[in-house]
Every structure is written in C-alpha cells, then in structure tokens.
Chains A and B, each alone.
Chain A
C-alpha cells in the first residue's frame, strides 16, 4: 500500500489535479516547475500497528496519516478554499480496494506565505489491514 500515491490518484480521478503538473508527491516545494496553485500529497507517519494474533506474517491493523496540502494563487483565498473543500469531499469516507477506510479531517487553514499564497492542510487517516 502506498497511501500518498492512492490518494493522489483519487484527486486526479476527481479532476482536482494532474500528476506532475499541479499535483505532486512529497512536501511543499517552490521551483520554476511548480505552479502557485498546486496540491502536494505527503505521507507523514502514523500510529504503531496493532498486530493480529497468528505470527509475524499475520495482518496488522495500520493507521497511517497522509497530509494533503493545497496552495492557492496569490490573493485567491476563496478559490483555494473551494479546492481544499473539494479535496476533502474526494477522499473522506472512501474505501478503495485494499483499504479499510480513509477518513479526512476538515481542511485547516495554515498560512498566507511570503508570496501571498494561501495554504490549507487536509489530514487524512488511512486504515489498512494487511
């Protein structure tokens, strides 16, 4: 399971971004290749797994966290907030194949950065039993 990859795929399917264009894996970045209005999807750890009984090869219930960061154009708060909300709707309470569940927290406004761009975070709990 690669939660950040699967969540990014769900965002692509919801027409919220194009991988490598305005949707990227990993932390927030600034470069000439990355537009202002963009989404980043990052694995950020999780809780200790809860093992099933049955030996080292038995499944674990795993709860991992994925952070989706939405960045708006400069002075485009309303548009950015709408995208953050759309991201939440695209991933909350989903149960893709291989997952127990995805549960996303409400979008959190993070900051207005030095370039005037707004940032939101959607923190998602990803459960698997594998």
Chain B
C-alpha cells in the first residue's frame, strides 16, 4: 500500500449506520480518533504512568455548498434534530473509520465573487471503530 492522495478518499454520512450517502462538494476533512489518558503515577515511580481511558472522536468537514446534495442534507437535518449520524471516512477509498455522534454545527457562507462554501463539525456519542 502506498501513500494515499486526498482525492482518493471518500467521506460519507448515514442516519442508520447501514445506508451511506457521499458528502458531495466536500474537499477537506479531519477525523480525529482519540482516547482519554489517565495518569496513575505513584510517588515511588520513576516516570509518569498512564492508563487508557474512554474512546472519543471529533471530525470536521468543509467544501462547496450544494443545497440538494444528499450527504449535505443529512448534515443539515442532523444539526436541526440533534439526532445521531454516522460518519465514514475512508482515506484510501476502501477502508477507514466510522464515527457515530452528533453534528455540532453546520455553517454556510460566501461572497458574490466566489462559490458558496460550508463547513461542519461533529462530536462523538459512542466509540469510533476501525474498518478491517
């Protein structure tokens, strides 16, 4: 497997975790898979010790606004409803990461001399998974 280039990646969103829609117009994404760290260092330890805590994730996406794009409609609706969505980001277009959570915001803007753009951010509501 070689180095992947950005346009190979697919970014999709789903309301049920089984039927996904591509987020059309998206040209930038950041998916952050994290785990909390808890320090358990004792007085007699010679270095800091930690244990792994709970999984967490966040994501942001931006691109060109397409009002009737199925993926962008899901993002907008989820922002309004507060319901969970599933984000699936596959950097190589085949396998990647699945995040479940809520859309924190969906922002649209532009000026008369350029295209309208959107950006949206996401916060986890359950553990992220790695596709294999």
Which residues of A come within 8 Å of B, CB atoms?
Answer: 50-56, 58-59, 61, 100-101, 103, 127, 129
Which residues of B lie under 8 Å from residue A56 when comparing CB positions? 7-8
B115 x A100 contact (CB < 8 A): yes
Chain B residues touching A, majority SS: mixed
- Known contacts A58-B7, A129-B64: A53-B115 contact under CB 8 Å: no
Which residues of B come within 8 Å of A, CB atoms?
Answer: 6-11, 22-27, 29, 63-64, 93, 113, 115
**Nearest CB on A from B41, distance (A):** 42
7 pairs of residues in contact across A and B, judged by CB atoms under 8 Å: A53-B9, A53-B27, A54-B26, A59-B24, A61-B64, A129-B25, A129-B64
Number of A-B contacts (CB under 8 A): 45
B10 x A52 contact (CB < 8 A): no
- Known contacts A61-B64, A129-B64: A53-B10 contact under CB 8 Å: yes
B27 x A55 contact (CB < 8 A): no
B115 x A55 contact (CB < 8 A): no
**Nearest CB on B from A104, distance (A):** 12
- Known contacts A100-B115, A129-B64: A52-B26 contact under CB 8 Å: yes
Partner of B11, one of A53, A61, A103: A53
Which residues of B lie under 8 Å from residue A51 when comparing CB positions? 6-7, 27
